[in-house]
Structure 1
Amino acid sequence: MSDARTEELAGALDAVRERIAAACDAAGRPAGDAHLVVVTKYFPAADVQRLADVGVVDIGESRDQEAAAKLAELAPDVRERLRVHFIGQIQSNKARHIAAYADVVQSVDRAKVLAPLARGALERGRVLPVFLQVDLAGDDEGRGGVLPAQLPALADATATTEGLELVGLMAVAPLHVDPAAAFDRLAVLSQRLHEDHPGATLISAGMSGDLEQAVAAGATHLRVGSAILGVRPARR
């Protein structure tokens, strides 16, 4: 697909990649050390197709019904080229369905969703990589996440669930808090997690407005939407 929208997305994508490369350089990290996940929630399958055409591999979705329907619209060869990250809050009654199409789940925040996620993964004949979402605000901003004090128990439960692979932590910087301070705290939590679970080395943090601070704090995955796709369409 080649049209004005594709050119628009390609230009925005290049600009974000330049920001990431500059942030990695400033942090003394290798170029490409932070992986871009383009957040496509609320945008149509046609935009996902365009992103795939310009080389995007990782996309992020946060609503189960929307994500499943959107992926079903894609041609099989396009879907095969994509790695789909589920980044939204998980309803336990939808966890099994999410695991049927998501390649990575970044938003595990309670033990109740582990079994259905694992069941969906095993039915698909594979192991599902999962991040634990951490609540760095502690004041119920409605973004989900496990409180840091409860993180070790959830990590242990995840690591011992067949069908799941604990790979790291995810967080959103709290409102009205310096993102750099929030991401530094996440990095400390990540180090503690890694001590108990050596395979859990990844950190998903940073979005369009704070990706530089996330890279400086060691983020390995950046979830960027509006800086590439523009203002979200009205929610359907």
Structure 2
Amino acid sequence: MSGTANDRRAELAVNLARVEERIARACVTAGREPKDVTLVVVTKTYPADDVRLLAELGVRQVAENRDQEAASKAAACSDLSLSWHFVGQLQTNKARSVVRYADFVHSVDRARLVTALSSAAEREGRRIGCLVQVALDRESGAAGQRGGVGPDGVGRLADAIAAAPGLWPAGVMTVAPLSGPYAGRPDAAFERLWEISTRLRADHPAANMVSAGMSADLEEAVAAGATHVRIGSAVLGVRPGLR
């Protein structure tokens, strides 16, 4: 390994340890076990070499938000034992590509996407875990600024996933809203997501993933019951172009 690669590995190791410590502290505060919270490292804009270094450091769950980048990166790292999560907004015409590498899609927000993913998964002989993306800024019928389905549509969409060949309802996901009643209140937003998850699990017991929290608000997510936190910049650094 070159000196530059060694330096990068050391940087990632330090950042990863800090994030794992943050998760551990948040779990202690919330009375939870750290093993019950899974770190998903979002590697968007960073090269496959970084994914390899993260794998050396013990990371097994990685996420991407754009298919073109994700597909090539997953192919370059196909020899590693990784679970790939797709977390970005997904067009139906990208479903066939995504199901070839993704084990979980966190951004399922409409019936047409369920149909596209199901058809693609069957064609590829795969079974994909689908999380319903919940748009909390659409509470009470308001117009949302991000992708996702309003809280009142979660059950119907999960039912559609459960009925779709090649798919299974894995849980719910949200991003802290920028508008609406939860704007600037990630703790309240994630608590609302937990309520939605609890209701969903009454009908779909296996849908136990609660994907919430990023670099800035992972503590609030853990306190509210998140099972998976999606962390990018706190592990990999500020994305290129944002420095």
TM-score range, shorter chain: over 0.9
The normalised TM-score by structure 2 is 0.91
- 2:212 is aligned to 205
Is this contact kept in 2: 1:204–1:222, CA < 8 A? yes
Q: How many residues are aligned here?
A: 231
Deviation at 1:203? 0.2
Greater alpha carbon shift after TM alignment, 166-175 vs 117-126: 117-126
Is this contact kept in 2: 1:96–1:118, CA < 8 A? no
2:52 is the counterpart of 1:49 = yes
- 2:33 is aligned to 30
Is this contact kept in 1: 2:211–2:229, CA < 8 A? yes
| Structure 2: unaligned runs, 5 residues or longer | none
User: Deviations 1:161-192 (Å, cap 9, x if unpaired)?
Assistant: 11101010000011232100000110111111
User: Deviations 1:114-154 (Å, cap 9, x if unpaired)?
Assistant: 1221222223323111111000112432x311111111211
- 2:94 is aligned to 94
The normalised TM-score by structure 1 is 0.94
2:7 is the counterpart of 1:7 = no
Aligned-residue identity in percent: 53
2:235 to 228, 232, 235: 228
Give, in whole Å, the separation in 2 of the partners of 1:148 and 1:93: 26
RMSD: 1.3
Deviation at 1:77? 2.1
SS in 2 for 1:70: helix
Within-5 A mapping of 1:20-169: 20-74=23-77, 76-78=78-80, 81-138=81-138, 139-141=143-145, 143-169=146-172
2:19 to 16, 33, 37: 16
Greater alpha carbon shift after TM alignment, 148-157 vs 113-122: 113-122
Is this contact kept in 2: 1:184–1:217, CA < 8 A? yes
Give, in whole Å, the separation in 2 of the partners of 1:30 and 1:231: 29
| Structure 1: unaligned runs, 5 residues or longer | none
4+ residue segments displaced more than 3 Å = none
